[in-house]
Amino acid sequence: MAITDKIYVKNHRQLASQLETSFPKSAFSGATLDILFTGDGIAKLDDASRDRVLDFAEDFLDCDCQGHPHCGCPERKFISYLLELRAQGLGPEAIVDVMGDDYMLYAYPGDVLSFLDDAVRTLEAAERLADVDDREKAGEAIGTRRRELSR
Binding to Zn ion by residue 63, rule CB under 5 A? yes
Segment interacting with Zn ion (CB under 5 A) among 2-10, 19-27, 61-69, 125-133: 61-69
d(CA 63, CA 128): 34
**Contact assessment for residue 8 and residue 25, using Cβ atoms and an 8 Å cutoff:** yes
Bond from prior residue into 24 cis (ω within 30 degrees of 0): no
Nearest CB to Zn ion, comparing residues 8 and 60: 60
Least separation in angstroms between CB 38 and Zn ion: 12
Residue 125 near Zn ion by CB under 5 A: no
Smallest gap from Cβ 138 to Zn ion, in A, equals 26
Asked if residues 122 and 146 have their Cβ atoms less than 8 Å apart, the reply is no
Under the binding rule (CB under 5 A), the answer on residue 73 touching Zn ion is yes
CB of 66 to Zn ion, least distance (A): 8
Cβ proximity to Zn ion: between 44 and 77 the closer is 77
Our CA angle for 144, 148, 151, nearest 5°, is: 130
68 DSSP 8-state letter:
T
Binding of residue 61 to Zn ion (CB under 5 A):
no
What whole-number distance in Å separates Cα of residue 54 and Cα of residue 112?
24
Q: Does 138 bind Zn ion (CB under 5 A)?
A: no
Q: Which residues contact Zn ion (rule: CB under 5 A)?
A: 63, 65, 71, 73
